[in-house]
Chain A
Amino acid sequence: EVRLLDSGGGLVQPGGSLRLSCVASGLSFSSAWMSWVRQAPGKGLEWVATINRDGGDKYYVDSVKGRFTISRDNAKSSLYLQMNSLRAEDTAVYYCARRDVSSQIFDYWGQGTLVTVSS
């Protein structure tokens, strides 16, 4: 069974930083493209970032470029999202998800971790 366990969310002040983690099991993590998708309270899904299998290619939505960094450690089957210069509009539940590039889908999702940016 594939499991993605998100963690690292919490309350942070505007301008602060937070690092999210996602530990994967039940899949060949080193062969998987991975993504972060977020959902602001009461809003829809928003793709945030994607990383390829070896971490050499990274893609971001414009609103987080220069502030967020996606990374991975294949030896630990772990995905990360380093979030700096956080803004109130970054408040959301953040989900890690596997990106199946052959079908262009997010086929497995973590349970989500809530990030609240507020003073």
Chain B
Amino acid sequence: QSGLTQPPSASGSPGQSVTISCTGTSSDVGAYNFVSWYQQHPGKAPKLIIYEVTKRPSGVPDRFSGSKSGNTASLTVSGLQAEDEADYYCSSYGVSNTLRVFGGGTKLTVL
């Protein structure tokens, strides 16, 4: 099944770094630098935190960074803080299965 695959969960202690992966295909993540990441706290709307693989919108802390290698994109959160506990979703242009424009989401827990 085409689409974007994320691990369902990730965790880290305050101050540590954690990386969340997003695996696509050579037709989407691997083909375009249009990978984006969204943060969603419970009961809130998603918020864009990374776009075009590595760029951060104004106001997003530089603790959040993005990268890509081949068909896999990654979001790294450095210096974990309690408020980073949230769900994170990746998205990529080119996904052929429009049901999977977004990855399945990763729940980040700050221990």
Residues in chain A within 8 A of chain B (CB atoms): 37, 44-47, 61-63, 95, 103-107, 109-112
Q: By the criterion CB–CB under 8 Å, are B45 and A106 in contact?
A: no
Contact B98 A44 (CB under 8 A): no
Are B34 and A106 closer than 8 Å at their CB atoms? no
Interface residue stretch chosen among B10-18, B46-54, B61-69, B78-86: B46-54
Residues on A with C-beta less than 8 A from B89 are 44-45
Q: A109-B46, A111-B45, A112-B45 are in contact. Are A104 and B93 (CB under 8 A)?
A: yes
Of chain B, the residue at the smallest CB distance from A100 is B51
When distances are taken between beta carbons in the complex, the residues of chain B under 8 Å from A63 are 99
The answer to whether A95 and B46 have CB atoms under 8 Å apart is: yes
The CA of A57 and the CA of B102, in the complex, are separated in Å by 22
Size of interface on B: residues with Cβ below 8 Å to A: 24
CA distance A109 to B46 in the complex (A): 7
- Cα separation A45 to B4 with both chains bound (whole Å): 12
Would you call B45 and A45 a contact (CB within 8 A)? no
Contact between A44 and B104, CB atoms less than 8 A apart = yes
- A106:B46 contact, CB within 8 angstroms: yes
CB-CB under 8 A for A62 and B45, given A44-B105, A104-B93, A106-B38: no
30 A-B contacts (beta carbon < 8 Å): A44-B87, A44-B89, A44-B103, A44-B104, A44-B105, A45-B38, A45-B46, A45-B105, A46-B99, A47-B101, A47-B102, A63-B99, A103-B36, A103-B52, A104-B32, A104-B34, A104-B36, A104-B91, A104-B92, A105-B34, A105-B36, A105-B51, A105-B91, A106-B38, A106-B46, A106-B91, A107-B57, A109-B45, A110-B45, A112-B45
Binding site for A on B (CB under 8 A): 32, 34, 36, 38, 40, 45-48, 51-52, 57, 87, 89, 91-93, 98-99, 101-105
Select from chain A the residue with minimum beta-carbon distance to B40.
A45
**A47 CB to nearest B CB, Å:** 4
CB distance from B37 to the nearest CB of A (A): 10
* Residues in A neighbouring B45, C-beta threshold 8 A: 95, 109-112
Return chain B residues, CB-CB under 8 Å to A106. Answer: 36, 38, 46, 48, 91
